[in-house]
Structure 1
Amino acid sequence: MNTSVVICAYTEDRWDDIAAAVASVRAQTVPARELLLVVDHNPELHLRLKRAYPDAIVLENAHERGLSGGKNTGAEAATGVYVAFLDDDAVADPGWIEGLESAMAQPGVVGAGGATRPLWATRRPRWFPVEFDWTVGCTYKGMPETRAPIRNVMGGNAIFRREVIGAVGGFSTGIGRSVEGGKSRPLGCEETEFCIRLTQRLPGSVLLFEPSAGIGHRVPAARETFRYFRARCYAEGLSKALVTQSVGSGDGLASERSYTFKTLPLGALKGLVTLRPGRSVAIVVGLAWTTWGYLVGKARR
């Protein structure tokens, strides 16, 4: 048992989701060394989880509020050779840990991420392009389909060697959700910045995409709307501006160049050929809103 699993939680509104995530970790073909539940500054949820899961390690976020602080808290308390992170609204396939550990056993590998599929509350909207499944935290068209090196993993389905997390300073708490004009922006990219910083500081380090390590990620009805889609794209642009400020635009936008100039044009063309123009329009709008968010973020800094 080499892997410590960390699930970060912040609200009791996701209680059923958290329970499903915990159950999926307990059902693994390769057992976890330990399960750590990290609560983000919510004493009521912390107490409720301690009562419900006495066999788990339930901790309060010891750092700044947010997902990065929670992940750092979990990594610091973990004792496994590896630390795996699972979203609190996701369920891991039974072979999730087995797949991740298989990837970690490859030479030079310090981190890996698995395939994340959307679990739609209703069904995928006809206009929703698979090239933008990242807006709902899932694997998207343009990512590898077989085991392959990648620049960064997706944070809700990831594993790292425990010692490298601390060696490079952990996850940045300067990137995450923010309040802008009274509204919460769904910012992210903590894992992107961390992975780039990791490979910059530890040359020769390899990150892998491992499709056999699958999870399902819940997509609530509120995230199936075009309004959320645009907001998430704009927020991604803002986040990418923060990432490039930290690690430079060369590495910070390396994957995005191929995605923008190859994956998206092909996706827009396919939407027209298959008589699904809504998807083509969504691709154009998504790219425009993401670019606008990036330019706004750069201008602010």
Structure 2
Amino acid sequence: MQNTEVTVVIPAGPPSRWPQLVRAVASARSQTHRPAEVVVVVDHDTAYFRRVRRDLAGATVIENGYAPGLAGSRDTGAFHVRTELIAFLGDDVVADPQWLARLTHAFTDPAVVGAGGGLHPDWRDGRPRWLADELMWTVAPGAESAGTGVMVAPGSGTAGMVVQRMVFREVGGFGRREASLPMRMRSLSGGRWRHVPDAVLRHDVPGNAASFRAFLRRCFRGGRAAVRPMPATVARNVGAAVRGRSVDHALRAGGAIAAMAAAGAGAMVRR
């Protein structure tokens, strides 16, 4: 694909996240690869829609025309787009200036139908001492751990991605199967999904999102598949603690054990 003109779609969260939304839009408009348009979608809140349209300069602001929620907002924005590429950005992330350039470069390969980048947590209250690298995804739904404190966004969630507009529309958009979008696009087109780790976003992590209770709740919902690497994580951190490297490693081993217990309980309840 030679045409890399792209529109950025940002679903707006609740009014309490207004400062984050302003930062996200500013980061989208400051890309070295300038987007043709930045579209902000407000989710069934008329008063907030009027405020965003009035106060957010430089963006096209529309209302969610589908079911309430993130997927409906994204689909509304995506079906407004006229460029060949669509970029999705969360309202709780800030994009590195090279984010869009690095993702759109992947589409110089005509077989690529979508691309996702890397996600770095910005801790408001510091990283929890008990949080292992492999469990970073619990503070950013839609991300997966890449180890060493970095998360990767394979194509879903708030982390951000770029897709081919025509293939996206052919599979019906996100709909109710948001997590399966990359798989559906690959299956329909026979194309590839590219991971571009240096296309970096920074995810705002408030203190309540990094609480132990929220952590257990996400592991409970994620099920056993989400914590499959945990035995190795426990062994690695216990070994490091025994060697006297840091008490944090013992805490992370305990966090991983708690994650496995919560995920197992979640799987049993679903059965």
After TM superposition, the score normalised by the length of structure 2 is 0.87
Letter in 2 for 1:292: A
Relative to structure 1, the CA distance from residue 292 to residue 107 in structure 2 (aligned partners, 3 Å threshold; closer, same or farther) is farther
Partner of 1:92: 95
1:201 aligned onto 2:174: no
Partner of 2:145: 140
1:58-207 matches, cutoff 5 A: 58-137=61-140, 138-141=143-146, 152-156=154-158, 157-173=160-176, 190=178, 192-202=179-189, 204-207=190-193
Relative to structure 1, the CA distance from residue 168 to residue 294 in structure 2 (aligned partners, 3 Å threshold; closer, same or farther) is farther
1:212 aligned onto 2:198: yes
Q: Specify every segment of 5 or more residues in structure 1 that has no aligned partner in the other structure, as ranges.
A: 176-189, 241-252
Letter in 1 for 2:182: C
Tell me, yes or no, if the aligned pair for 1:81 and 1:162 is still in contact at 8 Å. Answer: yes
Structure 1 position 278, deviation (Å)? 1.5
Identity %: 34
Partner of 2:46: 43
Separation in 2, partners of 1:272, 1:41: 48
Q: Specify every segment of 5 or more residues in structure 2 that has no aligned partner in the other structure, as ranges.
A: 242-248
Structure 1 position 101, deviation (Å)? 0.6
Residue 258 of structure 2, aligned match among 285, 289, 295? 285
Separation in 1, partners of 2:253, 2:200: 28
Q: CA RMSD in A?
A: 2.2
3-state DSSP of counterpart to 2:145: coil
3-state DSSP of counterpart to 1:7: strand
Letter in 1 for 2:180: E
Separation in 2, partners of 1:60, 1:291: 39
Separation in 2, partners of 1:140, 1:121: 19
Deviations 1:61-118 (A, max 9, x none): 0000011101110110011111111110110000010011112222411001100010
Structure 1 position 54, deviation (Å)? 4.5
Partner of 1:4: 7
Relative to structure 1, the CA distance from residue 62 to residue 294 in structure 2 (aligned partners, 3 Å threshold; closer, same or farther) is farther
Relative to structure 1, the CA distance from residue 34 to residue 267 in structure 2 (aligned partners, 3 Å threshold; closer, same or farther) is same
Relative to structure 1, the CA distance from residue 142 to residue 109 in structure 2 (aligned partners, 3 Å threshold; closer, same or farther) is farther
Deviations 1:254-290 (A, max 9, x none): xx6xx72xx4333222211221121112112213322
Residue 230 of structure 1, aligned match among 216, 221, 227? 216
Letter in 1 for 2:235: L
Letter in 2 for 1:212: D
3-state DSSP of counterpart to 1:99: helix
Tell me, yes or no, if the aligned pair for 1:132 and 1:141 is still in contact at 8 Å. Answer: no
3-state DSSP of counterpart to 1:274: helix
Q: Which stretch of the first structure deviates more once superposed, 283-292 or 2-11?
A: 283-292
